[in-house]
């Protein structure tokens, strides 16, 4: 074989080898690249067997009821540790901070968001951003009018206010002077508890002689009660939108030193075992109305949503009154 033929032969061998290698490469199946999956609310965002990441933004931890909510969510999530992991955030009672927390959850590609908002209105936009990205949103306690959330879970605050009003009417024999220590009035629960109370006392001779927005905080309620007592000698009852407000009012009355903590009837809302219920047992409050923290229901609903199940748009939890001598549930008083 001369030099020219030898060169042609080697070139053919090299060309054949290249074709063979290309053929083998073309036959291999490459692993598909994984891109973030956009899901509609109600669809599972992770394969079976994986743990879903849930972001929870709590508006503040300055109220015992909210501390209990966090504890209840953690306890419920711990029971399903093979399915969910909850990332907790505290907005420290600041709306911009809470908005930022929700947006961070969205950027992190969290599977589901639970939030208990500070107030109504400012979160409509950010909730919409999450849902648009395919991230379901569960709102707890404080409703967001006009928001496209996946599910709302809370108590019937209007009905709680109605029952509290009816209770005060019966407690005072249909007439008397009442102080109302409100929660944060830019939040729906406070608005509903106020409007419900007005409905409950309608037709009676119960008069609200003083009211103040205490923002759910006991020190604020204590200060407002002190102010009210300096202006009014006759106070028959205090209606607090939560137990800390009612307890703060009782504390102020006791500190006044005139014995009015014994003559004024104090009514609160929340009914936590170590707070409102204990106050009733100790004779500090005449009554407290239970308000569920929504914690267990939030995790249960989240798992259903992430598993692809349909859930109700609004889940309203029941209440009952705890008093020193009876339980009142709207239909009457029972031992």
Say if residue 238's pLDDT is above 90. yes
291, 160 in Cβ contact below 8 A?
yes
The predicted structure's pLDDT at residue 50: 84
State pTM to two decimals.
Answer: 0.76
Mean of pLDDT values over 174-187: 97
* Whole-number average pLDDT of the chain: 86
Mean of pLDDT values over 168-194: 97
Residue 5 vs residue 19, higher pLDDT: 5
For residue 159, the 8-state DSSP code is: H
- The tokens for 213 are 């927005």
CA angle 231, 236, 240 (to 5 degrees): 85
Residue 319 Cα to chain centre, angstroms:
16
253, 245 in Cβ contact below 8 A?
no
Length of the chain as a residue count: 335
Q: Of the candidates 142, 233, 215, which has an alpha carbon nearest to the alpha carbon of residue 179?
A: 233
CATH fold of 52-155+293-317, please? Rossmann fold (3.40.50)
Q: How far apart are CA 298 and CA 315, in angstroms?
A: 10
CATH fold of 157-292+323-334, please? Rossmann fold (3.40.50)
Listed by start position, the domains of the chain span: 52-155+293-317, 157-292+323-334
Say if residue 202's pLDDT is above 90. yes
The predicted structure's pLDDT at residue 47: 53
Let me know if the fold of 52-155+293-317 is the same as that of 157-292+323-334: yes
Q: Is 55 left (phi over 0), alpha (psi -120 to 50) or beta?
A: beta
Mean of pLDDT values over 102-115: 97
Say if residue 5's pLDDT is above 80. no
Q: What residues are paired with 316 via a beta bridge? A: 154
Q: Of the candidates 330, 313, 317, which has an alpha carbon nearest to the alpha carbon of residue 137?
A: 313
> Which of the residue ranges 41-50, 57-66, 220-229, 278-287 would you say has the lowest mean pLDDT?
41-50
């Amino acid at each position: 074989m001369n030099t020219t033929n030898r060169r042609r032969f080697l070139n053919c061998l090299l060309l054949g080898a290249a074709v063979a290698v290309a053929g083998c490469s073309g036959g291999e199946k490459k692993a598909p690249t994984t891109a973030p999956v956009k899901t509609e609310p109600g669809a599972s965002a992770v394969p079976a067997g994986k743990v879903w990441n849930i972001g929870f933004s709590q508006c503040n931890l300055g109220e015992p009821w909210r501390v209990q909510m966090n504890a209840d969510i953690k306890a419920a999530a711990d029971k399903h540790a093979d399915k969910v992991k909850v990332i907790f955030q505290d907005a420290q009672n600041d709306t911009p901070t809470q908005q930022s927390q929700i947006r961070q959850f969205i950027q992190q590609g969290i599977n589901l968001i639970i939030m208990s908002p500070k107030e109504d209105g400012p979160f409509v936009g950010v909730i919409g951003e999450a849902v648009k990205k395919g991230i379901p949103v569960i709102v707890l306690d404080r409703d967001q009018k006009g928001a496209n959330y996946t599910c709302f879970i809370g108590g019937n605050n209007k009905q709680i206010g109605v029952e509290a009003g009816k209770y005060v009417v019966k407690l005072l024999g249909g007439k008397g002077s009442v102080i109302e220590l409100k929660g944060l009035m830019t939040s729906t629960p406070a608005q509903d508890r106020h409007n419900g109370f007005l409905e409950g006392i309608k037709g009676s001779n119960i008069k609200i002689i003083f009211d103040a927005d205490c923002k759910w905080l006991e020190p604020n309620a204590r200060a407002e009660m002190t102010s009210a007592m300096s202006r009014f000698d006759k106070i028959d009852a205090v209606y607090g939108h939560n137990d800390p407000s009612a307890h703060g009012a009782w504390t102020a009355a006791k500190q006044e030193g005139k014995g009015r903590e014994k003559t004024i009837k104090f009514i609160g809302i929340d009914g936590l075992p170590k707070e409102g219920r204990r106050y009733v047992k100790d004779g500090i409050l005449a009554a407290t109305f239970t308000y569920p923290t929504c914690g267990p229901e939030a995790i249960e609903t989240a798992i259903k949503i992430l598993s692809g199940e349909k859930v109700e748009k609004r889940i309203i939890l029941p209440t009952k009154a705890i008093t020193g001598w009876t339980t009142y549930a709207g239909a009457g008083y029972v031992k």
